[in-house]
Amino acid sequence: VIKRPIIYSFYHQFNGAEGGGTGMSAEADKKLLDVWKSEWHDAGWNPRVLTIEDAKQHPHFLTLNAMLDGLPFKMYDRLCFIRWLAMANQPNGGIMVDYDVFPLNWIRHDLPNGGRLTVHEYSPSGGVPAMISASQSEWFRFAWSLAENAVQHKQESHWSDMKAMQDLYMASEKQAYLQSKSVVPGLAVLDGKGFTDETCERAAHSMAIHFSHHAVDKGVTPGEKSGPENRGPLAKEWLENWRRSCKTLSAGVAADIGDITAGLGGFHLP
């Protein structure tokens, strides 16, 4: 029996005293998490949700957490920094995705690029940290760098791990980490046109899709499932329609996927 590889995410249930949050109700968060777990499991993975308790197990948690004390960021943004340390506490590192990122054509499973930190949702300014792969040492290297960057921007009223990540990327002349164009931004397919050849082709050449809060808020979605509060049902419906409407990967497309995921190991589980 082949052991399923782990796909990680991070989640924290907010209470009123903490302020901020995910922008969704606890019920909507649970629905989205349930869809996330189901889709990754069906794709052959062992989905595991990390929490702040996982970060607290890291020997440098107290130090890094103290670095974030006194910064004028909401608890949500603080946890976005801490989640990197939760991944740095995993012995083999791994792949972490937001719980609104779903698998499309992930054929292989090992860490790409020799474990060097790789951001898989591309942007010219440094990408979106919705899917990241890295070795344990790389997760820790960047967890620390992000916290240091946050301290340097303590005058900002809002500073997220994405802003810090992009700031480090540009300051390093794009050498701080690698990027790939492996994740489809949800806004690219929520255009009201349905499953056109262009949509199917883009999905066929990607490993995952990201139904972000922004994508669902600004994109064209089915009336009954519109809005970020309904991301779980919307994602489930889109993925079911994608599987039904788009053709199976051709040999050529599958070869292309193999190229962009080179180094990711290779097996599929039922």
Q: Which letter does DSSP use for residue 209 in this model?
A: E
Taking a C-beta distance cutoff of 8 angstroms, is the pair 102, 160 a contact? no
Tens digits of residue pLDDT in 59-79: 999 999 999 998 888 888 899
Q: What is the pTM of this model?
A: 0.88
CB proximity list for 261: less than 8 A, separation 6 or greater? 106, 107, 108, 112, 182, 207
Question: What Rg, from alpha-carbon coordinates, does the chain have?
Answer: 18
**Average pLDDT of the chain, as a whole number:** 86
Tens digits of residue pLDDT in 104-159: 987 667 899 999 999 999 999 999 999 999 999 999 999 999 999 999 999 988 89
Interval 206-213 mean pLDDT: 93
Confidence of residue 25 (pLDDT cuts 50, 70, 90): confident
Q: In Å, how far are 13, 85, 185 from 8, measured between CA atoms? A: 17, 13, 19
